Amino acid sequence: MIFGPLRYVPYVMSAMLAGGLIGLSLAWWLRRRTTISIRNLYPPALAAPVLDLAAIQRDAWLVLIALLPLTSCVVAAALAGRRWRLSDLGAGDELRQFELSRRWLWQPATPRAAGERVRIATQGQIIRERGWPPSEPFVPLTADTDGPRAPRRSGHHVFTAGATGSGKTTSALRCAAGRVLKDRAALFFVDQKGDPGAETFLRRLAAVANVPFILLDPRATDSDHWQPLWGDRPAEVVARVLAGIETSEPYYADVLRQHVTLTAATLHTAGTWPPSLPLLVDAAQLAQYPRIQQLAARHQDNHPDLWRRVRNHARFVKSSEGQKALAGGLLRLDLVIGEAWRDVLTPRTAEPTGELVAVSLTNAIHEHAVVLWRTHVDQMPDEAKTVTALILNDIHASAVEAQTHGPALWTVVLDEFGAVITTAGDQALALLQRGRTHEGQVHVITQSVADIEALTGKVGLLASMADNFTAFIIHHQTAPESRDWLAKLMGTTALWQSTDQTAGHAATGAGTRRRVREFRIASDQFGLLNTGEAVIHTTLGPPPVTCNVKALQLPDQEPERIGTATASNCEMTVHPAAQLTSSRGDEEDPASSETPDHQHPPNDPSSGSPLRTHGMENL
Where residue 70 falls among pLDDT bands split at 50, 70, 90? very high
**Position 585 confidence tier, pLDDT thresholds 50, 70, 90:** very low
**Can you give the pLDDT at residue 382?**
84
**How many Å apart are CA 102 and CA 85, to the nearest integer?**
11
- Above 90 in pLDDT, residue 574? yes
Per DSSP bridges, beta strands 440-446 and 157-161 are parallel
**What letter would DSSP give residue 514?**
E
Burial (CB count <10 Å: 0-12, 13-18, 19+), residue 114: exposed
The whole-angstrom separation of Cα 480 and Cα 427 is 28
| Mean pLDDT (the chain, rounded) | 85
CA distance 102 to 416: 48
Return the higher-pLDDT residue of 318 and 12: 318
* CA dist., res. 557 & res. 34, Å (int): 55
DSSP single-letter state for residue 528: S
Q: Residues 475-501: what's their mean pLDDT?
A: 86
Residue ranges covered by each domain of the chain: 6-100, 150-227+347-497+514-548, 240-332+582-614
- The string of DSSP letters for 285-341 reads SGGGHHHHHHHHHHTTTT-HHHHHHHHHHHHHHHSHHHHHHHHHHHHHHIIIIIITT
Q: What is the pLDDT of residue 548?
A: 95
Strand order in the sheet with 571-574: 348-349, 356-359, 571-574
pLDDT digits (tens, 9 = 90+) for 142-189: 988 888 999 999 999 999 999 888 999 999 999 999 999 999 999 999
| Residues 471/537, Cβ–Cβ less than 8 Å | yes
- Between the ranges 155-169, 200-214, 473-487, where is the mean pLDDT highest? 200-214
| pLDDT reported for residue 610 | 33
pLDDT at residue 141 is higher than 90? yes
**Are the CB atoms for 45 and 77 separated by under 8 Å?**
yes
- Alpha-helical regions (H) of 105-226: 168-183, 196-209
Q: How far apart are CA 97 and CA 92, in angstroms?
A: 7
Residue 463 has pLDDT above 80, yes or no: no
Average pLDDT over residues 588-611: 36
Band of pLDDT at residue 2, cut at 50, 70 and 90: very low
Which whole number is the average pLDDT over 67-95? 91
Query: Residue 410 carries which DSSP code?
Result: E
Contacts of 157 (CB under 8 A, 6+ apart): 432, 435, 441, 442, 443, 444, 468, 469, 470, 471
Strands 370-374 and 186-191: parallel
CATH code at 150-227+347-497+514-548: 3.40.50.300
Question: 355-401, pLDDT tens digit by residue?
Answer: 999 999 999 999 999 999 999 988 888 888 888 889 998 998 999 99
pLDDT band at 542 (very low <50, low <70, confident <90, very high): confident
Q: How large is the average pLDDT for residues 70-87?
A: 93
Integer Cα distance of 296 and 312 in angstroms: 12
Question: What is the band of 290 on the pLDDT scale with cuts at 50, 70, 90?
Answer: very high
What's the rounded mean pLDDT across residues 317-341?
87
Q: What is the pLDDT of residue 243?
A: 82
Query: How many C-alpha atoms does 255 have within 13 Å on its Cβ side?
Result: 21
Phi/psi of residue 445, each to 5°? -120, 130
Flag whether pLDDT at 328 surpasses 80.
yes
What is the reported pLDDT for 16? 87
604 — pLDDT class (breaks 50, 70, 90):
very low
pLDDT tens digits, residue range 82-99? 999 999 998 888 889 999
pLDDT of residue 169: 92
Across 388-397, 413-422, 474-483, 527-536, which has the greatest mean pLDDT?
A: 527-536
Q: For position 170, what pLDDT does the model report?
A: 93
CB atoms near residue 129 (< 10 Å): 12
Average of pLDDT values for 561-570? 86
DSSP annotation of 338 reads I
Whether 460 shows a pLDDT value over 80: the answer reads no
Which residues are paired to 127 by β-bridges? 119
* The pLDDT of residue 464 is above 50: yes
User: Using 50, 70 and 90 to split pLDDT, how confident is the model at 269?
Assistant: very high
pLDDT band at 455 (very low <50, low <70, confident <90, very high): low
Q: Which of 418, 256, 398, 273 is nearest to 337 (CA)?
A: 256
Task: Check the CA dihedral 135-137-141-144 and report its sign.
Answer: positive
